[in-house]
Amino acid sequence: MFQADLTITGDIITIQMSGELDASSAPNFHKILQQAATRSPKQLILAMSNLVYIASAGVRGLVFARQKMGDDVEVVVEGANESVADTIRMTGMEHAITIRETFSA
């Protein structure tokens, strides 16, 4: 069961993600990203510490995120587990987004 919750702190939008992001849950993720994009943040943090699994359809969501946010917005993947981070890295997405191992706070 995938869940994504959006919080806004100043210019930073954080999306807390949990569960499994696959083809069936990707449309929900896309909707949340649309909401985030309308707020024109300076940074988008995708908090993935509770995300168990990401399929290629989920990585497609990251591509969407990168496109919707515009070039000046930093997109950060934070706290992803090893297999999620590997899946993201394998596609080459790490060139366009920042992958942080742990929370910055």
Partner 1 sequence: MDGLKLLVVGRHGEPGDTETSELTKILADCDCQPVVSSHPEILAGLHDGLEPDLLLLHAELTTREVAVLRERWQHLRTPPGVLIYCGSDHLLLDPHLEQGLDFLLPPFTSALVRTRLALGNQSRCLVRTVDELDPSMSLLLHDRDLKIGRQIQQGFLPAELPCPQGWEVAAGFEPAREVSGDFYDGFTMAGGRRSAFLVADVCDKGIGAALFMALMRTLLRYSAQNLWSGALAPFLMPTDQVFLGSPGIGAVPLLASVRGANQYLTANHLQQAYFVTLFFCVVDPASGRIIYINAGHNPPVLLRAAGGHRLLRPTGPAVGLWSDAVFTIASVTLAPADALFVYTDGVTEARNPAKELYGLPRLVKLLTSMPGAPANLLVSGVLEDVQAQRGRAAQSDDITMLALRRCW
User: Where does this chain bind partner 1 (CB under 8 A)?
Assistant: 22-23, 26, 53, 55-57, 59-60, 63-64, 67, 83, 90-93, 95-96
Taking the complex as a whole, how short is the minimal distance between the CB of residue 21 and partner 1, in angstroms? 12
- Of 34, 29, 64, nearest to 47 by C-alpha is 29
Residue among 7 and 56 whose Cβ is closer to partner 1: 56
Output 86 or 101, the one with its CB closest to partner 1: 86
Query: What tokens does 80 get?
Result: 């992803």
As given in the structure block, the two tokens for residue 19 are: 């569960």
Report, in Å, the least distance between residue 23 CB and partner 1.
4
Within 13 Å and on the Cβ side, how many CA atoms surround 73? 23
d(CA 46, CA 76): 6
Residue 26 CB, nearest distance to partner 1 (Å)? 7
CB of 20 to partner 1, least distance (A): 8
Residue 16 token pair: 């807390």
